[in-house]
Amino acid sequence: MPLSGLGYCADCGTKTKQHYSSGAKAPYGYVCGFHARFGKEHCTSHHINYTDLESIILQDIRRQIDFVMNDDKAREKYLAHKRGKKSARDNSDRKRQKDIEKRIADLDKLIQKIYEDKVLGSLPEKTCADLLTKYQQEKDTLQTELDTLIQRVDADRQDEADVDEYIRRLKSYAGAGELTRQMCLDLIEYFTVDAYHGRKAVRDIHIYYKLIDKPLKNKRNALEI
């Protein structure tokens, strides 16, 4: 089954389990694994049949393929989605990084000048020591901040690489006629299935995609993060 091992119950977070109902019009489906083991007292079935689920997920994948094929701002929008609140911080980080690098370069010149003045005897030794301590402390503080900013820049570059790879994978499945196991493994991190409240009730199927959504931390329970 293409989606085997990728589904989780939206209410208890337990991985869904393949289920067969003899005599049903659509006998094959998924149910909440916790419900399957311990019964309805612990969680409802969350039953959904294979055909409906695969159709929903394939439709969403096709929608995303169409998005990357026809929207020239798709990459920008995926980056904004992946970075969340970080996007608004990017420009200020870059400006701050340049300011810090310039100030550190200026401090290096000041420190070098003090050493020269000390050797030449043009400044009292105590004054030289006080200034060196002051400038070095400022430099150390700025260097710590700069290291943090550089780590953020590296993370931003990884975000860009992840989005580019995700778009490449989507495009590789353009025109796909069916949901395949490899397609699911390439694109889907996991999905959650809302409770079943009857055939006509609206249900939520949340699909989390690899490389652009947060990875699943606990493969036994999607709610434990």
Indicate if 123 and 50 belong to the same structural domain.
no
Q: Where are the alpha helices (DSSP H) in the chain?
A: 33-38, 50-70, 74-83, 87-120, 125-172, 181-187
Indicate if 34 and 94 belong to the same structural domain.
no
Percent residues over pLDDT 90 in the chain: 59
Mean pLDDT of the chain: 89
Is 130 inside any structural domain?
A: yes
pLDDT at residue 221 in the model: 86
Indicate if 124 and 106 belong to the same structural domain.
yes
For residues 41-54, average pLDDT? 90
pLDDT at residue 62 in the model: 97
Indicate if 161 and 181 belong to the same structural domain.
no
Indicate if 165 and 87 belong to the same structural domain.
yes
* Cβ atoms of 211 and 4 closer than 8 Å: no
For residues 8-27, average pLDDT? 81
Mean pLDDT check: name the lowest of 34-43, 64-73, 136-145, 196-205.
196-205
CA distance 20 to 103: 68
Indicate if 166 and 183 belong to the same structural domain.
no
Q: Nearest 5 degrees, angle CA 160-CA 166-CA 169?
A: 140
pLDDT at residue 91 in the model: 66
Indicate if 67 and 106 belong to the same structural domain.
no
State the total domains in the chain.
Answer: 2
Reading phi first (left if > 0) and then psi (alpha if -120 to 50, else beta), residue 187 is in alpha
For residues 49-71, average pLDDT? 95
Indicate if 17 and 66 belong to the same structural domain.
yes
Inform me whether the pLDDT recorded for 55 exceeds 60: yes
110-143 confidence digits (pLDDT tens):
999 998 888 888 888 899 899 999 999 999 999 9
Given pLDDT bands bounded at 50, 70 and 90, which one contains residue 22? low
173-196 confidence digits (pLDDT tens):
999 999 999 999 999 999 999 998
Mean pLDDT check: name the lowest of 141-145, 156-160, 161-165, 207-211.
156-160
Structural domain span for residue 58: 7-71+177-209
204-223 confidence digits (pLDDT tens):
999 999 999 988 888 888 88
Is 52 inside any structural domain?
A: yes
Is 198 inside any structural domain?
A: yes
Is 120 inside any structural domain?
A: yes
Indicate if 126 and 185 belong to the same structural domain.
no
pLDDT at residue 183 in the model: 97
Coil vs helix vs strand at 84: helix
Indicate if 183 and 163 belong to the same structural domain.
no
Indicate if 83 and 136 belong to the same structural domain.
yes
Indicate if 42 and 93 belong to the same structural domain.
no
Given pLDDT bands bounded at 50, 70 and 90, which one contains residue 225? low
* Cβ atoms of 7 and 191 closer than 8 Å: yes
pLDDT at residue 92 in the model: 78
Is 101 inside any structural domain?
A: yes
